[in-house]
Amino acid sequence: MRKNLNILILLSFILLSCGQEGSNVTATTDNNNEGGSNAIVYDSKILMELFTSTTCGPCLPQNTTLNRYLDPTSSVYAGDLADKWIVLRYHVWWPSSGDPYYDWNQSPVINREAYYDVGYVPHMYTNGNVDSAGTAATWRTNARAAVNQPTVFKIDINGSRNGNNISGNVQVTSSADLSDVSGFKLYVAVTHDNSTYNAPNGQTVFDQTFVDFLTGSNVDGQQIYSDTISLGAAETMTKAFNWTMDSNWPNDSGVSWSIEKLNLVAFVQYDGAGQNNKKVYQVEALAFD
């Protein structure tokens, strides 16, 4: 009972703290309590998931502004967020068909669109449970509000690229005993930067483009895109990956891209109930260029 009580106290601290704008908690308490109440608390990075389309006119200016926030040479570069702001862009099938990035790998995008009940593009979600709507200015504001939130999760990515193949592992460590807490999931996604394409909406350069998930399995005929996390205090879960980029991606002669621009994005998301349903508790990325 004491163990479970300590877990609840720690999780309550994390869950409540994550709602406070500007929180910057880096606890360095020793993780030597059997119940886990003295678990280390890490600063989290920010995951922003953008739903967009090459056929969406309003997506062009918002994607362009977001790119400027992330560009060190831009006058509006968000330098305070540079090493903590991780973006993942899913291309969808509306308002018109024909987006080559969506057409290449439809099922995981359909799954994530349904998960969030997106409804329109462009549409951004910050750390899973914050609807950041459709304007880049709001995206930057919400990113600043979400940075350095306290979390018990740490993610490390180790990997290398050999031609079109990437291999290595993702390690997720929990500083608290969460073995009795269900709902935490690991997602590992491959993204691509700096492909070029003369899109119907006028956009020509595409970054953080979703390619595929490396986590998940088929359960009773249904594809699941995440792996379940169950960790005790100071325990680590290791997800090995060995994946090859199809040289025909995204199967459109109008798209030019370089294999050096692959990235891996790994994040822990809570898939449960309550106000923190869908919340992303930690994210990390690795560029292979």
For residue range 87-98, list pLDDT tens digits in order: 999 999 999 999
- For 94-111, give the secondary structure using H, E and C: CCCCCCHHHHHCHHHHHH
Q: What pLDDT does residue 38 have?
A: 60
What's the token pair of residue 88?
A: 């993942």
Residue 19 has pLDDT above 80, yes or no: no
Q: What pLDDT does residue 39 have?
A: 72
What's the token pair of residue 285?
A: 């990325």
- Compute CA 52 distance to the chain's CA centroid, rounded to the nearest angstrom: 15
CATH number, domain containing residue 158: 2.60.40.10
Q: What pLDDT does residue 29 have?
A: 27
Model pLDDT for residues 22-73, shown as the tens digit of each residue: 333 232 323 333 344 467 899 999 999 999 999 999 999 999 999 999 999 9
Please name the residues in contact with 78: beta carbons below 8 A apart, sequence gap of 6 or more: 69, 70, 85, 140, 143, 144
What is the spatial distance between Cα 44 and Cα 280, in angstroms, rounded to a whole number? 9
Residue 16 has pLDDT above 50, yes or no: no
Residue 230 DSSP label: -
Query: What angle do the packed helices 136-146 and 59-69 form, to 10 degrees?
Result: 40
**Helices marked H in 18-80:** 59-69
Backbone angles phi, psi at 97, to 5 degrees: -75, 170
Residue 3: CA count within 13 A, CB half-sphere: 9
Please give the model's pTM, rounded to 2 decimal places: 0.89
In total, how many domains does the chain have?
A: 1
DSSP assignment of 67-104: HHHT-TTSTT--GGGTTTEEEEEEE-S-SSS--HHHHH
What is the spatial distance between Cα 226 and Cα 219, in angstroms, rounded to a whole number? 11
The pairing of strands 153-162 and 262-270 is unpaired
Give the range of the structural domain holding residue 243, as residue numbers without chain letter: 2-287
